[in-house]
Amino acid sequence: MPELTPIELEALRLSLRVGLWGVALSLPVAVPLAVLLARREFPGKQLLNGLVYLPLILPPVATGYVLLLMLGRRGPIGAWLEDSFGLVLAFRWTGAAVAAAVMGFPLMVRAIRLSVEAIDPRIEVAAGTLGAGAAWVFLTVTLPLAIPGIIAGTILSFARGVGEFGATITFVSNIPGETRTLPIAIHTFLQVPGGEAAALRLTVLAIVLSMLAIIASEVVARRLHRRLQGHEA
């Protein structure tokens, strides 16, 4: 494949940065939420579960519009963030990271939740009977055993964030060097006469990145799962 131009490299670097920050925003919330959904019954659980997976069902453009309404400079949360911290998300790369986090969040939660549900609850109960508190059981038993799901969910969420288009372009637009991520750059090149070659290069790159993410997710999850089974044996 021909060498990428500076504009194409810029789009790639921005996508990777957005994807990484999206994961960083999602992970601290996704882990406890996934454990909560997997281990507890409480009023409103089905509603919360539906809200978590809503970004997978809604059209990405609709999700981006909701983000713009809530986090835009005139939105209730966006105005508060700007007034209190000087933080502006709309039409900024930070907003693209938020969009990536929102779109990848359901995938992360699901992967972690399935991993937690696969853990034998008797192991956690046994740790509790030995005097360990709930927080200590979570940190020393549940969390280590759920690591395969956490890693798989992290990689899938990252890949989803890197490939996000609809919510991103709706929330932060298409600003070169600021919000023009890899998929937005592909769309932009397709609108320009003679831009098909650049669009093709970036498309191939996006496919390669996605495949690597999926393969890495499977390999890491399986290896960690076998290692944990070996320790249990």
Write out pLDDT tens, residues 3-22. Answer: 788 888 999 999 999 999 99
| Contact status, residue 94 vs residue 17, Cβ threshold 8 Å | no
Backbone angles phi, psi at 57, to 5 degrees: -100, -40
pLDDT above 80 (res 179) = yes
Give the chain's radius of gyration (CA, Å): 20
Give the residue from 27, 94, 26, 103 showing the smallest Cα distance to 64.
103
Give the predicted TM-score (pTM) of the model: 0.89
Specify the pLDDT at position 143.
87
Pick among 3.40.640.10, 1.10.3720.10, 1.25.60.10, 3.30.479.30: CATH of 6-232: 1.10.3720.10
> Percent of the chain beyond pLDDT 70?
95
Tell me the pLDDT tens digit for each residue of 73-130. Answer: 999 999 999 999 999 999 999 999 999 999 999 999 999 999 899 888 888 788 777 7
